Structure formats: C-alpha cells, structure tokens
Chain A
Amino acid sequence: MTDATDVRNRTKELLAAHPPAGTERTDFLKARFDAGLAWVHYPKGLGGLDAPRTLQTAVDAELTAAGAPDNDPRRIGIGLGMAAPTILKYGSEEVKQRFLRPLWVGEEVWCQLFSEPGAGSDLAALGTRAVRDGDDWVINGQKVWTSSAHVARWAILIARTDPDLPKHRGITYFICDMTDPGVEVRPLRQITGEAEFNEVFLTNVRIPDAHRLGEVGEGWKVAQTTLMNERVSIGGSRLPREGGMIGPIAQTWRERPELRNHDLHQRLLSLWVEAEVARLAGERLRQQLAAGQPGPEGSGMKLAFARLNQEISGLEVELRGEEGLLYDDWTMSRPDFVDFTGRDAGYRYLRSKGNSIEGGTSEVLLNIVAERVLGLPSEPRNDKDVAWKDLAR
C-alpha cells in the first residue's frame, strides 16, 4: 500500500535522479510521469501509483519546494480535466499508453469538439455525422466554441452514428486528429476582443475505429464522464482568502480611498462575504472528496463562482470610475488560455460573462441540481422517444 512516506521518498528519488536545475523541462516532466508522480491516483504505468488522490498534495508540495517545473495545468486544462479521465475510463490499453503521457507532459494539447451551432445546452441534438467506412469512420459537420482548437493536437469528439435512433442513443465518442487535412479551425472573435474560441469545420475527416472511446451508440454515456469531470474540476482547487476575483478589487479599495463611497462599500462587503463563503464551500467540498464522501455540491460551485465573478468584476469597473470607461487592449489575439488576473477590470467583466454559459449554462445547471440533487420531477419532454432525424431543427 502506497502511503505518504512512500510517495515522499519516491519524490526525493526523482529529484535526486533529475535535479530540476540541470534538467530540461519536458525531460523532467516525462521522468515524473514515469515515476508515477504525475497523478498518483492513476494506475501504475500511466503516470500514477494506484494511490489515494489525496497523496498528490505531498508530491506537489515537495516538488514546488525543490523548484521543479510543473506541467502548466492552465494550458492543458481540457486534456487534464476532461480528455484524461474519459480516456482512462473508456480507452483501450493501447490508447491509454499512447495518449496519457504526452497529454500530461503538455507535449500534446487537447480540445473538445462537443458543442455545435444547433446543439449548445441541448448537446444531444448534435448533427455532426460519423459514417463507418471499413476500419475508419468518416466525419462531416461543424463544431463551435472550441477553446484551444488552434493549438490542439488532439480532440475529443462526439458525432452522430445513427440518425434513426432517439437523439441520446445514436451518438458515438471519438478521438480526433486535429492535423487531419479535413479539419479546419477558424478563430471566433469574442466580446473581449480576443479569439480564445474557434469554429471547427470537419470535412471527410477519417478516424480509425481504434480511436473510438466506448461502444458505438454509447457516446452520450461516455460524454457524461467528460462533463461531470468538467464541472467538478471548477470547484476542486484550494484558494486562499481573497484568492479569486475579490482580491484585485479589495486591494484597489485599500489603496485608493478617493474611489470609495458608501454604496460601493456596502456592495463590496456583501460580495467579500459571499466570496469567502464560496471559498469555504469549495474547501468543504475538497475535504469531502478527500474523506471519500463525495457530495453533490460540485455541481453547485460553478453556479456560485459564475455569479460572483460577474458581480465582483462589474463592481470593480464601477469602482474605478473614470478609468472604468477605458479598456486595456482591443487587439485580436488568440491566447492559449484565459488569464483573468493578467488583464484589467474591463476584461474581467466581459470575460466573466462567459462563466455562466461555458461548461453548461447556469440555467441548465440549476435544472440539474433541481432534478438530480433535490429529486424534483422533470418537465414534460417530447424529444426523448423520437428519432433524431425527425426532431424540429
């Protein structure tokens, strides 16, 4: 049984064999993966030690103290948070061996080809087609809101394999090669001025059947693994007090007494309390997971953070008054990831509008909480037993 001491010893051995000062970043990360210290709860041989997830904290602390490079989780967030757990659960041995190491090391960035212009919150309505041709599947369709598509090497993809079945049952899940000549990525400029998202056009893209995850027609079930992990990963990190968006505005308040008025003060204090409570709720969720008592709270944390980010950043723009009328930079760029603190309040305000839309709109998440957590009855539906091809579009 792997325990904290064992994990710490392995970390020390890794550091001794590959001193961070004299080792290339990716070489160190590969060695770390091979030592089972990438994600200790993953299986042996796949970057882990089959150990409890909680022991990762000890590894990370030891490596940070030694100045070891990390794998830049922000840049590879989709791969780490969504592709990896899905591959681990549904991939063949070959697929796991092929993809997990470069994914974790960051040599290969991933994106997620799920949403479509006609299938956003109603994701199961998607129309991208996958048709079997020998050992391959031939894909045609259009995806949208795809973060990181412009830097991604691989994508997780869901496509319709049987239009005659009801919409949830005719979907299959694939790994798509973004360098395939049939894949075209176009930047999609957003409200912030930058193009963090993309449209992706798929024209006769050939995917080998070996890159299918799960059974044919079981793609919706596989996608649930991805989506659950997407939402949980948002509440999972540990924040210090004032660690989120409340930090910059609190600092501005302290440093700039000339900006203060009573109305702003009352609103700031209320949001400070709510931010602190959301932080504590996230911490409680983390403690529950660590104690092996996962609760349904995860689905709620995203809702709380979305609203708080929007209200706090909106207040911050207002607090800045005359400066709030200005914007730092409208130049179109294509960033690798969202950098909330590297930009001005105006950017935070505009970008946080996406927090209640991306990864499930707040309205859909409230439905999920109401039905799955509170057990309230679902609204009557007329799309469940109808063949996808017969649905209104």
Chain B
Amino acid sequence: MTTQSTQPDLLYSEAEDDLRAAVRSLLADRSDTASVLVRAESGTPYDPELWKALAGDIGAAGLLVPEKLGGHGASHREAAVVLEELGRSVAPAPYLTSSVIATETLLALDTETEAVAGLLTELAAGRGTAVLAVPLSGSHDGHLPVGEPRITGIADAAVADVLLVLRADGLYAVETANVAVEALTPLDLTRPLAAVTLDDPADATRLADAETAEKAVRRGLLAGAGLLASEQLGLAEWCLEETVRHTRERHQFNRPIGSFQALKHRMAQVWLEVVSARAAARNAADALATDCSDAALAVAVAQTYCSRVAVRAAEECVQLHAGIGMTWEHPAHLYLKRAKSDEIALGTPGRHKEALAALVDLQAP
C-alpha cells in the first residue's frame, strides 16, 4: 500500500512520549514560571545547570546530529517534542537557536571537514552553543545579512560560544568572545536579543563556500521555522490549560466563571485551534524529518497557523484571567510576550503566506 507510506505520521511515538516525560519533569523541577521570571529580571535568563541537564544529560541537544558525530541520530520529530515542552514552560534555553537552527545549518555543510565535525560534536554534547548571525525576524526565503558589519536582533547571541557568520565568500565560525555583543531590550524577556559588530574578528574559521553556505543557512532557518510551530503549540496548550483551571476555580456571581457560556465558547474555540495546531506542527516536523518535497509547504502552513494560535491563546489567557492576567506576578505575560515575539520570529504569518502563494500556485493579482 504505497498510498499509506506517503501519508505523514502525525502521531507521537512511544520514544517521543518518553522524551517528553523526561523533558517535562526536568523543566518542572528546575524551571517553574516563578524562577523563569526571577531569572529574566536578573538580566541573565539562562540557567547553565538547566542547560547542562537538558542538552547533555537528557541528550536533547544532539537529537538532530548523527551518532558518529556524537549525537543521537534522531530527527526533527523528537526535537519538536522538546520544543513543545520548552514552549509550555517558556523556559529560557538556546535550544531553537543552537540545537536546531545552527545545528541544522552545520549539518547541511560538509560534515567530513574537521571544523564542521568538531563544532557539531561540541553542540551535540551540550558543551557549547552556537547561533546563526541572522536577525530572529528573518525568514528562510528572505534577505540574508551577507557580509554586514553590524547585525541586529540576533537571538541568544549573548550566551552563545560561537557565532556562525555569513560573508560574501562563505560561512565562518567566530568566537563570540572576539566580537562586540550589545544586549538589546527584548519584548520577550525569555529570549534575549543582541546586536553584534563583526568588523574583522580574530580567529574566524571558514566552514563552507558561499553557495553551500547560503543553502545551508536557508535550510537551518526553514527547520527553525518548522519546529518553532511546536514551541508555539506547547505555549498555546499551557495557556489553554491554565485558563481552564483558573475559570473553574474563580467564582463571581456565586458561580465558577467557567460555567458561563460566553467564556466556555471562547475556551472551546481555543481548544479546537490547539488541536488543529498540533496536526499542523506535527506535519511540519514529520516533513522535515523525512526531508519530503513538501517540507517548505508544510512549514509555511504550520507557521501561518500556529503563530496566530499561540498569540490568540496567550491573549485569551490574559483576558480570561482579567486583572490577575495583567499583573507582573502572574506568568501569563511571559507567555504573551513569547507568543507575540514568536509570531515575528523566522518570518511573520504574512511572509509565510506569501511563500505559500508561490508554492501552491495561488498568485497575487
């Protein structure tokens, strides 16, 4: 039955469920929302111990990396599950930037070369992190900052060990310590942004020629966008669950407010969108994992849809928590800020719709 095998697998495997359980329990222990907030305010949102446990002990950082390079030879499907959990806990961790985008970019280079293999091995083991020197708002089919001396809006640049920099003649690995990194004030407190000034850093290592580099970077950004949908899914799920929990407990007019139809319908609608977002995000992860020809389309669909769902779930979470949702103490704002920032990250829904129009031959006037 060949028709069967071309269908995307939209479910979770047992191994994926186990991975989810491990990541969820780690994040529950080490990264509850109160401590996320404290860290975010401290200006150093990342917890190195948490990263060591997630990336190294659980092995999440090496999921995309083949075993011969020290990784787990898993796929985007498993990495997507990790991102669902990171979204659900808004945990600050350079997973999307280092373990997905930078890793995927490096994997699209010649992994036989010592520099690429060495870097991948470090990343897979969780010993170091790397980020692509591209604005978080950039998309896989948009403008790339080739040879720009100052690049702004780079996510996680301040915590990364290595920057992957596109120059006119290829892709370079640059020690972050050797460039000027200027922290910016981000909307999303849990994903720090920075501007870097790159004039002639010492010890830049060339990893690939220009043509290979550009393809690899676009591939890295495509995978990032596709898996970001899973982060958005996890985030939306938390927002819905918390809103349901709150409205069941909170009493007004001598009734739990969750018994009012006006509120129930809004939560049921969010539920329907979360269920749909799950199918879209799984489809994108599966398309990336199987490297199917539909991957760009699956990513465009997932990004267009899941971005909106995450923002809406977070906005509904704030509204249905009412005054409580407006406070700094309640974590709803962390989720809203992450959701709104994720909507712009790696291409806005509008940008992905434009890409889709070309892919499915629905041309603009």
Contacts of A374 in B (CB 8 A): 240, 244, 264, 267-268, 271
> Within the complex, what minimum Cβ distance (angstroms) separates B225 from chain A?
14
A367-B261 contact in complex given A260-B365, A281-B279, C-beta closer than 8 Å: yes
> Within the complex, what minimum Cβ distance (angstroms) separates A381 from chain B?
11
Tell me if B15 counts as interface (CB < 8 A to partner A): no
> Within the complex, what minimum Cβ distance (angstroms) separates B3 from chain A?
8
Contact of B305 among A257, A261, A273, A284 (CB under 8 A): A273
Contacts of A366 in B (CB 8 A): 264-265, 268-269
Query: How many contacting A-B pairs (Cβ < 8 A)?
Result: 132
Contacts of B247 in A (CB 8 A): 376
Contacts of B192 in A (CB 8 A): none
Tell me if A378 counts as interface (CB < 8 A to partner B): yes
Judge whether A283 and B7 touch: CB under 8 Å. yes
Judge whether B279 and A284 touch: CB under 8 Å. yes
| B-contact 0/1 string along A253-279, CB 8 Å cutoff | 110010011100110111011101110
Tell me if A6 counts as interface (CB < 8 A to partner B): no
Judge whether A369 and B356 touch: CB under 8 Å. no
Judge whether B259 and A377 touch: CB under 8 Å. yes
Judge whether A284 and B271 touch: CB under 8 Å. no
Please, which residue of chain B has its CB at the minimum distance from the CB of A376? B258
> Within the complex, what minimum Cβ distance (angstroms) separates A238 from chain B?
8
Chain B interface size, under 10 / 10 to 19 / 20 to 34 / 35 or more: 35 or more
Contact of B280 among A58, A269, A277 (CB under 8 A): A277
A287 to B363, CA, bound (A): 33
Contacts of A373 in B (CB 8 A): 268, 271
> Within the complex, what minimum Cβ distance (angstroms) separates A377 from chain B?
4
Q: Which of B284-317 contact A (CB under 8 A)?
A: 301, 304-305
> Within the complex, what minimum Cβ distance (angstroms) separates A351 from chain B?
23
A369 to B301, CA, bound (A): 25
Tell me if A21 counts as interface (CB < 8 A to partner B): no
The interface stretch among A81-89, A125-133, A179-187, A296-304 is: A296-304
Judge whether A58 and B261 touch: CB under 8 Å. no
Contact of B276 among A250, A257, A272, A278 (CB under 8 A): A278
Judge whether A273 and B271 touch: CB under 8 Å. no
A261 to B277, CA, bound (A): 29
A79 to B269, CA, bound (A): 31
Q: Main secondary structure on chain A at its contact with chain B?
A: helix
Judge whether B356 and A260 touch: CB under 8 Å. no
A366 to B269, CA, bound (A): 7
A367 to B266, CA, bound (A): 10
A283 to B301, CA, bound (A): 15
Tell me if A57 counts as interface (CB < 8 A to partner B): yes
Tell me if B322 counts as interface (CB < 8 A to partner A): no
Contacts of A276 in B (CB 8 A): 280, 301
Judge whether A280 and B365 touch: CB under 8 Å. no
Judge whether A254 and B11 touch: CB under 8 Å. no
Contacts of A300 in B (CB 8 A): 271-272, 275
Contacts of B264 in A (CB 8 A): 366-367, 370-371, 374, 376
Judge whether B364 and A369 touch: CB under 8 Å. no
Contacts of B11 in A (CB 8 A): 284, 287-288, 291, 293
Contacts of B269 in A (CB 8 A): 366
> Within the complex, what minimum Cβ distance (angstroms) separates A369 from chain B?
4
A269-B244 contact in complex given A280-B280, A283-B10, A284-B282, C-beta closer than 8 Å: no
A253-B362 contact in complex given A269-B356, A273-B353, A376-B244, C-beta closer than 8 Å: yes
A277-B258 contact in complex given A261-B365, A284-B278, A366-B264, C-beta closer than 8 Å: no
Contacts of A261 in B (CB 8 A): 365
Tell me if B357 counts as interface (CB < 8 A to partner A): yes
Contacts of B356 in A (CB 8 A): 269, 272-273
Among A304, A376, A380, the one with the most B-chain Cβ atoms within 10 Å of its Cβ is A376
Judge whether A377 and B365 touch: CB under 8 Å. no
Judge whether B267 and A268 touch: CB under 8 Å. no
A278 to B280, CA, bound (A): 9
Tell me if A61 counts as interface (CB < 8 A to partner B): yes
> Within the complex, what minimum Cβ distance (angstroms) separates A105 from chain B?
27
A265-B357 contact in complex given A283-B7, A369-B271, A374-B267, C-beta closer than 8 Å: yes
> Within the complex, what minimum Cβ distance (angstroms) separates A240 from chain B?
10
> Within the complex, what minimum Cβ distance (angstroms) separates A250 from chain B?
6
A277 to B315, CA, bound (A): 21
Contacts of A284 in B (CB 8 A): 10-11, 278-279, 282
Judge whether A277 and B248 touch: CB under 8 Å. no
Contact of A281 among B240, B276, B353 (CB under 8 A): B276
Tell me if B9 counts as interface (CB < 8 A to partner A): yes
A283-B271 contact in complex given A272-B356, A272-B362, A273-B356, C-beta closer than 8 Å: no
A262-B364 contact in complex given A273-B305, A374-B268, C-beta closer than 8 Å: yes
Contacts of A321 in B (CB 8 A): none
Tell me if A134 counts as interface (CB < 8 A to partner B): no
A375 to B272, CA, bound (A): 15
Give 15 pairs: A residue, B residue, CB < 8 Å, sorted on A: A57-B1, A254-B362, A260-B365, A262-B364, A269-B356, A272-B360, A277-B276, A280-B276, A287-B9, A293-B11, A303-B272, A367-B268, A370-B265, A377-B258, A377-B259
Chain A residues near B (Cβ < 8 Å):
57-58, 61, 250, 253-254, 257, 260-262, 265-266, 268-270, 272-274, 276-278, 280-281, 283-284, 287-288, 291, 293, 297, 300, 303-304, 363, 366-367, 369-371, 373-380
